[in-house]
A and B are shown apart, each in its own frame.
Chain A
Amino acid sequence: MAAPMLRWWCLGRRWVLACIDGGSRHGRGAAIGFTSSRKRGQTSVAQQPLITSQKSRKGEHEWAAVVGLEIHAQISSNSKLFSGSRVHFAAPPNSLVSFFDASLPGTLPVLNRRCVEAAVMTGLALNCRINKKSLFDRKHYFYADLPAGYQITQQRLPIAVNGSLAYSVCVGKKPSRVITKTVRIKQIQLEQDSGKSLHDELRSQTLIDLNRAEGQLRVDANVSVHHPGEPLGVRTEVKNLNSAKFLAKAIDSEIERQIHELENGREILNETRSFDYKLGCTMPMRDKEGKQDYRFMPEPNLPPLLLYDTESLPPGADPQQVINIDWIRERLPELPSETRERLIQQYGILPEHSFALLNEVGLLEFFQNVIKETRAEPKKVTSWVLNIFLGFLKQQNLAVNESPVTPSALAELLNLLDRKAISSTAAKQVFEELWRSEGKTPSQIVSEKQLELMQDQEALERACHTVMEGHPQVVMDVKRGNPRAINKLIGLVRKATLSRADPTAIKEILERKLSP
């Protein structure tokens, strides 16, 4: 199961890089990511609004949409946020429940160190300010999957605030035009998750699983619209969206709905809605109870969480008992933005390509392995990896680690191409064959299919000569200055040589022969 961070980035790619169609009525407010975790041992980052301009169909007042996302992501840890019970994906229901998780009276929460470290790492990776002192609170509401009647969260003073995230958006139809945008991260908070409710319609009962290790990303989107220059509109919350695709659809449809309502003189209610996947639109979720008062109260069983840096670390402190932010910062892995920058510097590839390389699981590693074993230029490798290799993967819906073509195989193929042992057309053929039949090397395929480029210069000269003699009319065209005529000759020579001649070489010979 992919670690949460990785998943989050994948999520970002799928919809951030989708193109904005400028001609439609509503452009999409650019995606805003910020995590909020509602899982035991999960980090939570709250929302940030971003304004985009849109044109209404009637061409009247412009509308601007404001979208805020609350993302719930589970921290990868061995045990839960406040209890010692283990975390394991897809365990049998209620098999990983400690006394505290079941809310047995008299049990107390104990904070999991690894979860705090993960939250700090997330905060640092998202350019947040880490609060050296943060507090825990109880958020009260009654529901069957919340056995304590409250959830422990960080409402007053969360662990990290005021971060930012740079991301790329495609503009225009061509994927090549990419612009960088920034979104603000309001906060990251540690939070306990509720259990899982399974509604058994048949028996009219609800079953509760208190394991709480779903391992999924969950997003709530807050949406409102207003006219630029006017105050923000009433917002609605669309809850429990699990995929980037549906998140985008839900936001779009909600923006559309709100504009439609307002343009027809109606009001937007501050309510919670859910997204109907089949109908493709949002529906109201809770009945008109009105806003819930969660009766927030400080969690009395957890003292304030104090974090240190190297400067403020008390002397002689037990390393088991304290967390040093600087120490964690030093151990952060290379962040994607750094990796992208490095790729651009080191290999001279384009920014949009650097995004593409990072946004597919395992693709960067594949790319780097090919680079290691080939003499071909990085630009060539990039092109082959992102266009041809990735194209084949997507067509068959495979992940990088499921690819039948290994980095070594591709590297070998590119080497053949680089020393002009084969033409690029032939190379593509070889690649197809590599994909289909495992175990064969590119060299094997080349010799099997006799795809080697002619190396015999004399034979090539003879072939050119033969073609020129056989097509005097075309030769005349060339001499008369028709720029396209030479291509015809090249084509004829290629045909004559069964595509085993390098078109560049052919052209060079022809030009030599045809020059006065």
Chain B
Amino acid sequence: MAEFDSKLPVSGGKNHVFEACHHVVKALRASDNNLDANLRKLLSDLEMHLSTFGIADTEVEDVGFSEIKERFKEAVKKIRSWETNQSTILEAGLSEANQFFQALYEVQSVLVGFKALPIKTNQKEKDVYNQATVALDIAMLRLEKELRDVLHQHKQHVQPEYLAVSSRRKDIVYDESFVSLDDEVVVEASLHEDDEQISDFYSSDLVDPSVLPHIKAIANVMFACEYDQPFCEAFISVQREALDEYMVTLEMERFSCVDVLKMEWEDLNGAMRKWTRVVKIITQVYLASEKQLCEQILGDFESISTACFIEISKDTVLSLLNFGEAVALRSCKPEMLERFLSMYEVSAEILVDVDNLFPDEAGSFLRIAFHDMSKKLADHTTATFLKFKDAIASDESARPFHGGGIHHLTRYVMNYLKLLPEYTDTLNSLLQNIHVDDSIPEKTGEDVLPSTFSPMARHLRSIVTTLESSLERKAQLYADEALKSIFLMNNFRYMVQKVKGSELRHLFGDEWIRKHIASYQRNVTNYERSSWSSILALLTEKNESVRTLRERCKLFSLAFDDVYKNQTHWSVPDPELRDDLHISTSVKVVQSYRGFLGRNAVRIGEKHIRYTCEDIENMLLDLFECSPSPRSLLSSRRR
């Protein structure tokens, strides 16, 4: 571009320029609200000059006009000097920045002036106009670059510390394999880790607040010069990229519907956990801050702030929504219940935040999409919960469970139920209108907690009832009545202990606990009867002959050996229950035997008595240890 040259005529034409200046001042004064200190000063200077010159005073006029011309020349020079300067105007300092803006306003005034002229100006003035447009465009382009650079360099990171911690934790996978874990491990894994910390990071500043005035100044001037579109494009582009990068630091991946349906459970479990954390951080922290930033910078321009915010956030939000939808395509397997519960819970929780982020018509499609997705997750979660029962009911065994111990299904169900009290509120709201038959009659009273008859409690009891039915069916597979009883007592005892030892007790209630204790006690009685009645009957005698007595003694020993052989393989894992069994069995059997021996030992003769009372007492202790190789029968008292 040619150096600005004084091509302006000294006579005649100068009136046009003079008038132009008047117009400029008028126009700028009229838009007083947007003026900053620099421009106001410029205007007062100009006005001062203009007011001292009358139109007739041509000589003085020329001096006044040439001053404006000089200023314009300087302004263009200043603007051009920044054209190739790669560092930011901001870091050059406040004075430099002010000078740049002042130069810009100079140029803009010339343009406004020319535009306001009612008559066509001559060629030379048109050239000035042309040069001014180029200078303006250079300045605008430079400011656009400035905007991008400043936003980028003064970006602040939203980095909640707990993130680093949770990503190190190993995900516990709730499939059949977890029945073999210690119960303690399961408890540990269910800790809800992250709710509290997030609120500490509300509304962090995405950009260093000290640069905001500078950015706002850029916005104001670009909008004033009708370069609002490029400003918005640049702003949206930088901010959207920053959000993308943030998602990368959160290690959030995008998945297609095809991916989600194909995923192995472990991977999906991890992805769902991550989503649950990320969606909260994004809506409650990051986007809230982003919206605030848009407001701070573009708040003066009505709907522009909203439009920009939506453009910046749209893609990420839609992608998060898509994952929620995709996950709801999967079938309702019971092991997914907890993950669905947390996803649904979070989605419901953030609806308020989403409504605040996108309150207007323009953002309504996102708001509605969130509500829809939350509803879908609700339905899917409820369906998964209800299917849990079906899965339990359809668990059929072909063979009796070895050793009569605690069945995998029992462990699975009870450990799973133990995780659910954490989601009490959510489950109650999902289940409130779904009727289910309860195993205990509804009661009120001082000693009855309201939680015991909440929708969730009813459903949980119903699930356990289904488990019980399943166990009854499995028990039928045992040929041995005694083993059947052992099986049932073990499993019912396990259920009771799990309920008593956790939050579940408030849900199941005392009456349920009492009923189920009574139930396994009955099985203890059954066991004793079916195992020992006929054996102990051998020890009641009425004036039998010696031979009969000896026979009885032998039969008793043989029968006892049988029981011993079998029942040492049986399992009663619960130590207390096992002790109780030992004690009550011992009391019965040893007492009877002692009595029998007491009455008849002499007549029978020592060499026909295989076991002493002590022997019997000791051997009884081996029962239910589930030992692979019981103490050898032969190692007992030899004869």
A binds B: no
* Chain B residues proximal to chain A, CB less than 8 Å: none
* Chain A residues proximal to chain B, CB less than 8 Å: none
